[in-house]
């Protein structure tokens, strides 16, 4: 993002986590409240990034392993004569999806609780910051009008 | 189209203008069928794109881009929301048939995914400033509130209103529709607010405004509040408290029960079906002020319809659901998924037969709707037996036109209010008098 920008910038989805990274703008006269908000958002972003990158990589890796083991059991190779990657049909993959979902259930439960907490905190902080800014602007307006 | 047709028809006395009625119905049906073929093509395109993208070599980005439905929308994504409409917010569907209310969730949501993907796939790779642009705001809010899904919800509510055995009150109808629409916008916005990281990871939903940072979570919540509070107030004060209570309950059910439950247990589908069933009940209570058997029957029909619709949609999204951690029947209990879909297709036949028994429609309704319901049950059976992509897609697409068609037929077979009053007079006049008292 350009140096003169006074806003946050959001980028394209990450390769592993599919989440869009945000570069936060740090204003020179950042109040403690605003700093708390920014740090909360950064922390949430990092946490989300870690979780989803790990989940997605694990998913793809386990999917490959599953396909490989199933193909081996069927006596086939990973690539057929034409060099195309061999895949299993949806019904066979269904076993894997079911398995993956149940294996990761507890992880998801914990992540959900975590995410909801963070989301509410961040939004509440945003509200506080917006209110503080509005009050500051009103006070500035009154001062100017007074002058 | 549907609105205008409703308004025109309420003035019609059934006996003399029966033929004209049928003509108009046939025309309307043709139009909607054409629209559905159009939606179908959009869906097929989206599906094909999803398919071809999934087959891409691994060197490309690991999670190649492709739901409501659903969740749904499409999410027609429909598509979104579906779904549509989206809740699908832009492009083709909106500009060409902006007022067409015959879209379903998934249609809307999927359609939503289609046009933004086409228009913005290049811009997607760039860094964007997180600044709210006022001219983008209407589009962003439309996508946030899943406007097409909302339109569908409002149309089912108006179907409930139209089926109620009372004289048609335009102000009440408009207030009820507006209130329901606002409540739906609020619920959808909160749903998107809760689901940002999950939506990012699913093909169907990754172009939503909060995911793309086009709007801040604070603004999303404020928008939801500014839609929900006036919406419920409008329903409670402008229509009646019962409708307002139902609206508030539905918002709560959708945002605080269904949305978290999607990640906790497969029971979310049943809760979601109730969420879908409440709007027609709201329409009915808006018209009559009371929760009678007719309202529950309409709710029941929509409740049963949700299952073949959603189960068929979710059958092809199993990979995304599994990776994203969503607990859906199609992933964990595939046999149950198909059984439930079939069961509820058959239930639709039973419910349609119940309609004349409860004096809502004439006996022509079960007769005319039987082919419709048998067809969807047949597709439901094929889905149950074959359990593959093609049968699930056929069932899903059928559900998209089946519901509007069923509601349309129901409306044309509605027992005339005057007829009922005459019957009441025949029975000694007490019935008729009681009805008179109820009228304002």
A56, A102, A123 ranked by CB distance to B218: nearest = A123
DSSP output for B30-43? HHHHHHHHHHHHHH
Instruction: Give the pLDDT of residue A25.
Output: 86
Smallest CA–CA separation between B262 and chain A, in Å?
11
Give the β-pairing of A9-10 and A22-23: antiparallel
Name every residue in B having a CB less than 8 A away from some CB of A.
Answer: 57-58, 61-63, 124-131, 193-194, 196-197, 200-201, 206, 211-213, 216-218, 221, 260, 263-264, 316, 318-319, 321-323, 325-327, 331-332, 334, 387-389
Non-local (6+) Cβ contacts of B115 within 8 A are B88, B90, B91, B92, B93
> CB A12 to CB B129 under 8 A?
no
| Residue B127 with chain A: CB contacts under 8 Å | 1, 9-12, 23
Which single residue is written with the structure tokens 């529950």?
A: B296
Which has the higher per-residue pLDDT, B75 or B238?
B238
Q: Which CATH architecture has domain B134-289?
A: Orthogonal Bundle (1.10)
Kindly tell me if the per-residue pLDDT of B90 is higher than 70: no
Mutate to test the interface with A, among B323, B324, B383, B390 (most CBs of A within 10 A): B323
pLDDT in tens, B122-172: 656 788 888 888 888 899 999 999 998 999 999 999 999 999 988 888 999
On whether the CB atoms of residues B155 and B276 are closer than 8 A, the answer is: no
pLDDT in tens, A76-122: 766 666 656 667 777 778 888 888 988 899 999 999 999 999 999 99
On whether the CB atoms of residues A47 and A118 are closer than 8 A, the answer is: yes
Is residue B169 helix, strand or coil? coil
Which has the higher per-residue pLDDT, A143 or B3?
A143
Instruction: Give the pLDDT of residue A94.
Output: 84
Cα dihedral sign for B271, B293, B356, B166?
Answer: negative
Q: Does the interface ipTM go beyond 0.90?
A: no
On whether the CB atoms of residues B346 and B377 are closer than 8 A, the answer is: yes
| Residue B193 with chain A: CB contacts under 8 Å | 119, 123
Beta bridge partners of B119: none
Cα dihedral sign for B282, B287, B291, B292?
Answer: negative
> CB A9 to CB B124 under 8 A?
no
Which has the higher per-residue pLDDT, B56 or B318?
B318
* Angstrom distance (rounded) from CA B310 to CA B276: 11
List of long-range contacts for B267-275, beta carbons under 8 Å, 24+ apart: B268/B327, B268/B328, B269/B306, B269/B307, B269/B310, B269/B311, B269/B328, B269/B329, B269/B340, B272/B71, B272/B306, B272/B310, B273/B303, B273/B304, B273/B306, B273/B307, B273/B310, B274/B303, B275/B250
Kindly tell me if the per-residue pLDDT of B54 is higher than 80: no
How far lies B7's CA from each of A144, B4, B278, in Å?
56, 5, 23
> CB B319 to CB A97 under 8 A?
yes
Instruction: Give the pLDDT of residue B377.
Output: 94
* Angstrom distance (rounded) from CA B321 to CA B12: 48
Non-local (6+) Cβ contacts of A6 within 8 A are A25, A27
> CB B197 to CB A94 under 8 A?
no
* Angstrom distance (rounded) from CA B239 to CA B236: 6
pLDDT in tens, B196-219: 999 999 888 888 999 988 999 999
Rounded to the nearest 10 degrees, the angle between the axes of helix B389-412 and helix B293-315 is 160
B323: tokens are 């990776």
| Residue B260 with chain A: CB contacts under 8 Å | 112, 116
Phi and psi at B121, nearest 5°, equal -65, -30
> CB B323 to CB A116 under 8 A?
no
Inter-chain CB pairs, A–B, below 8 Å? 124
H helices, E strands: number in chain B: 20, 1
pLDDT in tens, A22-66: 988 888 888 899 999 999 999 999 999 999 999 999 999 998 898
Q: What would the mean pLDDT of B6-20 be, rounded to a whole number? A: 44
> CB B325 to CB A18 under 8 A?
no
| Residue B264 with chain A: CB contacts under 8 Å | 109, 112
Residue closest to B344 by CA, chosen among B273, B286, B285:
B273
Cα angle vertex A44, ends A40, A50, to 5°? 145
| Residue B197 with chain A: CB contacts under 8 Å | 19, 48, 52, 115
């Amino acid at each position: 993002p350009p140096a003169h920008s006074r806003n946050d910038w959001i980028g394209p989805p990450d390769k592993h986590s599919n989440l869009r990274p945000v570069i936060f703008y740090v204003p020179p006269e950042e109040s403690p409240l605003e700093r708390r908000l920014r740090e909360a958002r950064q922390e949430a972003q990092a946490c989300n990034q870690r979780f989803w990158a790990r989940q997605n990589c694990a998913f793809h890796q386990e999917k490959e392993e599953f396909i490989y083991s199933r193909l081996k059991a069927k006596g086939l190779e990973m690539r057929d004569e034409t060099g195309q990657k061999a895949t299993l049909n949806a019904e066979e993959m269904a076993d894997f999806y079911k398995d993956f979902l149940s294996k990761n259930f507890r992880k998801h439960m914990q992540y959900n609780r975590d995410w909801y907490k963070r989301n509410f905190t961040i939004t509440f902080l945003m509200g506080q910051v917006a209110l503080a800014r509005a009050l500051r602007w009103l006070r500035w307006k009154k001062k100017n009008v007074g002058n | 189209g549907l609105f205008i047709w409703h308004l025109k028809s309420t003035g019609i006395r059934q006996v003399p203008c029966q033929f004209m009625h049928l003509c108009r119905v046939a025309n309307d049906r043709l139009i909607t069928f054409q629209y559905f073929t159009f939606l179908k093509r959009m869906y097929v395109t989206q599906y094909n794109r999803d398919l071809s993208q999934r087959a891409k070599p691994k060197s490309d980005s690991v999670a190649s881009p492709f739901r409501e439905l659903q969740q749904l929308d499409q999410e027609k994504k429909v598509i979104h929301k579906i779904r549509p409409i989206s809740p699908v917010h832009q492009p083709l569907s909106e500009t060409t048939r902006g007022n067409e209310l015959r879209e379903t969730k998934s249609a809307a949501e999927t359609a939503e995914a289609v046009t933004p993907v086409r228009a913005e796939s290049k811009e997607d790779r760039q860094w964007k400033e997180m600044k709210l642009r006022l001219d983008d705001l209407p589009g962003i809010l439309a996508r946030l509130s899943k406007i097409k899904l909302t339109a569908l919800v409002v149309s089912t509510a108006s179907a409930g209103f139209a089926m109620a055995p009372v004289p048609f009150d335009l102000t009440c109808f408009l207030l009820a529709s507006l209130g329901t629409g606002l409540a739906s916008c609020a619920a959808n916005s909160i749903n998107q607010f809760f689901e940002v990281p999950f939506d990012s990871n699913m093909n169907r939903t990754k172009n939503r405004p909060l995911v793309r940072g086009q709007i801040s979570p604070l603004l999303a919540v404020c928008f939801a509040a500014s839609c929900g509070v006036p919406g419920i107030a409008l329903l409670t004060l402008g229509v009646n408290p019962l409708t307002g209570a139902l609206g508030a309950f539905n918002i709560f059910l959708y945002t605080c029960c269904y949305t978290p439950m999607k990640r906790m247990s497969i029971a979310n589908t049943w809760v979601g079906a109730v969420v879908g069933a409440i709007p027609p009940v709201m329409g009915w209570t808006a018209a009559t002020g009371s929760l009678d058997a007719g309202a529950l029957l309409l709710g029941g029909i929509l409740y049963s319809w949700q299952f073949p619709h959603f189960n068929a949609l979710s059958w092809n999204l199993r990979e995304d659901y599994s990776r994203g951690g969503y607990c859906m029947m199609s992933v964990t209990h595939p046999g149950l998924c198909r059984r439930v879909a079939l069961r509820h297709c058959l239930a639709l036949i039973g419910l349609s037969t119940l309609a004349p028994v409860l004096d809502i429609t004439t006996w022509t309704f079960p007769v005319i709707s039987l082919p419709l319901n048998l067809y969807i049950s047949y597709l439901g059976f094929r889905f149950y037996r074959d359990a593959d992509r093609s049968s699930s897609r056929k069932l899903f697409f059928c559900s998209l036109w089946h519901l509007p068609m069923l509601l349309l037929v129901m409306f044309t077979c509605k027992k005339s209010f005057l007829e009922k009053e005459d019957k009441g007079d025949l029975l000694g006049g007490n019935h008729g008098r009681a009805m008179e008292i109820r009228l304002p």
